[in-house]
Amino acid sequence: MAAIEAEGLRKVFGNVVALDGVSFSVEEGEIFGLLGPNGAGKTTTINILTTLIRPTSGSAKVWGYDVRTETSKVRSVIGLVPQDLTVDDELTGIENLKLMASLYHVPKDVAERRIEEVLELVDLKEAARRRVETYSGGMRKRLELAAALIHRPKVLFLDEPTLGLDVQTRAHIWDYIKRLVREEHLTVLMTTHYMDEADANCDRIAVIDRGRIMAIGSPRELKAAHGSDVIELEVQGNGVNVQSLVKEVRGVLDFRIEGNRATLRVERGEEVLPELMGRMIGRGVTVKRIEMRRPTLDEVFIALTGRSIREEQGSWEEVFRQSLNIRRVRA
Amino acid sequence: MIGEISAIMGRELRKWVRSPPLLLMALIQPLFWMGLYGKAFNLTGLFNVPEDVLRSLPPESTKVVASLFNQMASRFFGSPGTDYFSFVATGMVSVIVLFVSVFSGMSIAWDRRLGFLNKLLVAPIRRSSIVLGKVLAASVRALVQATMVLLMGLALGMRLSPASPLLVAGAVASIFLLAVSLSSLVIAITLRLRSWEYHMAVANLLNLPLMFTSTALYPQTLMPDWMKPLATLNPLTHTIELLRSALLYGNSVDLAAYQFHLAYLSAFALLAAGLGSYAANRFLSAER
B7, B116, B122 ranked by CB distance to A102: nearest:
B7
pLDDT tens readout for residues B32-54: 878 888 888 777 777 777 778 77
**Could you give the C-alpha distances from B101 to B54, B110, B124, B151, in angstroms and in order?**
47, 16, 27, 20
Q: What percent of chain A has pLDDT over 70?
A: 93
Kindly determine whether residue A78 and residue B122, on different chains, have CB atoms separated by under 8 Å.
yes
A 10 A CB-CB count for A58 gives 17
B14, B114, B122 ranked by CB distance to A50: nearest:
B122
State the pTM of this model.
0.84
What number is the ipTM of this complex?
0.82
The residues facing A254 across adjacent strands are: A265
Q: Is the pLDDT of residue A312 over 50?
A: no
Contact B135, B187 (CB under 8 A): yes
B285 CA to chain A: closest CA distance, Å? 7
Give mean pLDDT, residues A175-190: 89
Kindly determine whether residue B10 and residue A47, on different chains, have CB atoms separated by under 8 Å.
no
Kindly determine whether residue A75 and residue B124, on different chains, have CB atoms separated by under 8 Å.
yes
pLDDT at A309: 66
Residue ranges in chain B whose pLDDT is less than 50: none
B15, B18, B122 ranked by CB distance to A75: nearest:
B122
Q: How far apart are CA A215 and CA B246, in angstroms?
A: 73
Q: How far apart are CA B103 and CA B182, in angstroms?
A: 10
Contact A150, A142 (CB under 8 A): no
pLDDT at B40: 80
Kindly determine whether residue A82 and residue B121, on different chains, have CB atoms separated by under 8 Å.
no
Give mean pLDDT, residues A9-25: 93
Q: How far apart are CA A28 and CA A62, in angstroms?
A: 11
Provide the pLDDT confidence category of residue A92 given band limits of 50, 70 and 90. Answer: very high
pLDDT at A328: 58
pLDDT tens readout for residues A192-202: 888 888 889 99
